Amino acid sequence: MPITKSAKKALRQSATRKARNTVRKEAYKKGIKSFRKLVSEKKSGEAQESLKIAFKALDKAAKTGVIKKNKASRLKSRLAKALAKTTKS
């Protein structure tokens, strides 16, 4: 347990940031999961709407530092490719 006043504050800040990061991380993972489910069910119209939500969640996660910018770009690219593959088929 922290002893000094500054260490106690750092612990509080750390807990707050962890909670915020967890919410952001769960949001983008949930968005990706729902998108992939719709793609596997071949529902391209709904998948397109879900893709927008997933993109927004990924952008927010990257902006706030939960994930790196390149990881967000990589995931977005893969999701867009998956959608293109289902609409083409």
> For the domain that residue 55 is a member of, what is the CATH number?
1.20.58.110
Higher pLDDT, residue 86 or 5: 5
pLDDT digits (tens, 9 = 90+) for 35-65: 999 999 988 889 999 999 999 999 999 999 9
- Domain span at residue 12? 5-88
**What is the average per-residue pLDDT within 28-40?**
95
Band of residue 88 on the pLDDT scale cut at 50, 70, 90: confident
Q: What is the 3-state secondary structure (H, E, C) of the chain?
A: CCCCHHHHHHHHHHHHHHHHHHHHHHHHHHHHHHHHHHHHCCCHHHHHHHHHHHHHHHHHHHHCCCCCHHHHHHHHHHHHHHHHHHHHC
pTM of the model: 0.86
89 confidence band (pLDDT: 50, 70, 90):
low
State the total domains in the chain.
1
